[in-house]
Structure formats: C-alpha cells, structure tokens
Amino acid sequence: MSDDTRLRAGLGPRERSQGSAVAAAGERARAPSPGRSYGVYAALDLGTNNCRLLIACPASDGFRVIDSFSRIIRLGEGVSATGRISDAAIGRAVAALSICRDKINAKNATRLRLIATEACRAADNADSFRDQVAAETGIRLEVIDRETEASLAVIGCSPLLDPHGRGAILFDIGGGSTELVRIERDPRQHGATPRIKAWISIPLGVVTLAEHFGGRDVTPQSYALMVQEVAHYVAPFAAEHGGDLGGMHLLGTSGTVTTMAGVHLNLVRYDRRRIDGVWMSDVDVTATIARLLGMSYQERAGNHCIGVERADLVLAGCAILDAIRGAFPLPRLRVADRGLREGMLVEMMREDGALVGR
C-alpha cells in the first residue's frame, strides 16, 4: 500500500471502544487534546491467521495511510484441537508484533488500538500469551468480542456499499470465525447512514475448517461437506434475516475474497488497487471457485495471488462463501481489501473529532 493511499471514512454505526489500548514499548495511548494537531494513529489486528497493522493521519476526505504491515502467522493453528496457542505460533506472533512495534515507534503514533480476535477468545492460554507479548514487545492486546468485531468490519467496509442500493449482506471470513451482518439504509432518507439490522458470528473460519476437513487435497466430496457444515450455522440467521433482498448485494472482506478476485482478474501478482472495490457477478464467483477446485495444491501454491501461505486455506474460505451464497442468493459481490483496521482508525478519529464533516 503506497504512502499516498487515501480511504474515505466509513459510514457505519458508531460503537464505543471496549477496554483500553496500551501503546507499544509500554507507552499508554492517549487522545489528542484540544488545540493541537491530531497526530498519527495506528490500528493493529491480530487475527487467527494474520497480523495486520495500519498507520495513518487524518485527512479531509478520511485518512492518509503512511505505513502498513501484514503477515500470515497462523496464531490459531491447532487451537481447535488442543485448546492452546502453540509455542511455534507464539514465536511467529511475537516476531510479527515486534515489527509492528518498531513501525509504530518510527512513525511516532500516539493514538492506538491494538486488538486480538478469535484465537485469543478461544485459547486456554490466551492470557499468558498476551502477557508474554506485552513483556517482549510492549504491546498489550485488547481481546474484542464478536459483536465489536462485526461492528468494526461494518465501519471499515461501508464506503463500498452500492450508493444506489439499499444495503448489503456483509461477511468477514476470518481464520477462526466468520461474521455475517445485514446492513441497510433508511429508504426514506437520501444518503442515510447504513445501520446494522442483524449480525451473527459463527465459530468457523478458514483455519478451523481446513484443519478439520483438510485443505491441501480437497475433493468435490470434502468440499461439499465443508459447505454443508458452514450452512448448518448460517441457516438460522438466514431464516430470520434473509428475506426481502431487493436492492441488496454481498460485500466481502477477507483474504478469501481478495485472493479469489485476484484469480478472477488473472493478475500476475496481487494488486490492492485493482482488488479493493471490484464487483464480481454470481457467475464470476461460481467460475472462479470451480477454477480453484480444479487446481492441485501445487498449482494453488504457485499462483502469485494465492501462494504457499494460503494454498491450503483458500478452498475452505470458498466453502464458507458458497454457504453464504446459498443462504443469501444475491447477484453481485463487491470485494473489500479493508476491514477491522480501517474501522478502528475511523472510530478513533471520530471520537477525537479528527474527521472533518463526519
């Protein structure tokens, strides 16, 4: 992501942050005081599969990204079987978080939010892991609940809602959980802020699903079983909130959908500028998933939009997407290469009054 990348501020519901974020190297995060510049903001998302950081400054149209970092660390590897974060995963996480700390310090970011999600919600040793992270990196992680995770995804992704549409079924396919949110505008108010109508978080993500069903060698039969497993969790939500889909579209944020979009576009290498905001028809999605299912593990690993790190996870993500598509049969999907980090930045800047006109 280039330093001059600009993302328009999100329009989702305003939720208060839960808990406190402590700055890297032990420095407490602080809100800007009146009468001075708003400074530099940092948002860190330690997920079940990825560690992601975004550092930005407020701008007239949202915020300007000045640094970023993303690394697949597989923090949740094996947690579903053992109930614990492994020593190897802890080592990978500490290494990635040390880089994040150095970037935060180098950019002099003083307004921070540093969150962890499903792996730290589920693991028995999550507290000791967080203590180790704090001792070795100075980063004290805030474990957010699933409702907060869903609301941050809405804030981060809502700029990609079809401006002429009624709303979307937003989904965020993570490593250990998947969030589904129905968001709508008030049809009586032109340009109204989209609101969360309903949401659900299911305890299945690409890591947990691939570990249970296998991700390297996926057959049509094992793929169908994955779809069936996810559909079981999605069905009650769809039964209650899947009616009257006129004017709606799917809006997806995750490595699954961004990878799938890269494959659909036949990109030689992943390019965020071409992925974020791209529309895919239902036919496009079906064809791309069929193409991925037809690849061997080695072929997926050799594709520059997938790579070795996602080669054994992408079909589990496609199975989750197919279950969602089956429950919410909408003709279009918009792909978002944005999510929790953008949501955190927008929320912090709103609280500080740093977003002009927001």
- At 190-226, the pLDDT tens digits run 666 789 999 999 999 999 999 999 999 999 999 999 9
60/71: higher pLDDT: 71
**Residue entry with tokens 């977003």:** 355
Q: Are residues 171 and 99 part of one domain?
A: no
Domain range for residue 192?
Answer: 161-336
Q: Are residues 182 and 127 part of one domain?
A: no
Q: Are residues 260 and 170 part of one domain?
A: yes
Count Cβ atoms within 10 A of the Cβ of residue 140 and give its class: 0-12 exposed, 13-18 middle, 19 or more buried: buried
How many separate domains does the chain show? 2
Task: With beta carbons less than 8 A apart as the criterion, state whether 28 and 96 touch.
Answer: no
Residue closest to 138 by CA, chosen among 1, 42, 58, 17: 42
pLDDT of residue 283: 97
Return the minimum-mean-pLDDT range out of 63-67, 184-188, 244-248. Answer: 184-188
Residue closest to 182 by CA, chosen among 324, 18, 339: 324
Residue 251 lies in a domain: yes
Q: Distance between CA 142 and CA 75 in Å, rounded?
A: 15
DSSP code at position 331: S
End-to-end CA distance of the chain: 25
Q: Are residues 119 and 219 part of one domain?
A: no
Candidate ranges 15-24, 62-71, 314-323; pick with highest mean pLDDT = 314-323
- Mean pLDDT, residues 10-22: 31
Residue 357 lies in a domain: no
Residue 171 lies in a domain: yes
Q: Are residues 345 and 329 part of one domain?
A: no
Q: Summarize pLDDT for 84-106 with one digit per residue, the tens.
A: 999 999 999 999 999 999 999 99
The mean pLDDT value of the chain amounts to 87
Q: Are residues 167 and 97 part of one domain?
A: no
Q: What is the pTM of this model?
A: 0.84
Q: Summarize pLDDT for 235-273 with one digit per residue, the tens.
A: 999 999 998 999 999 999 989 999 999 999 999 988 899
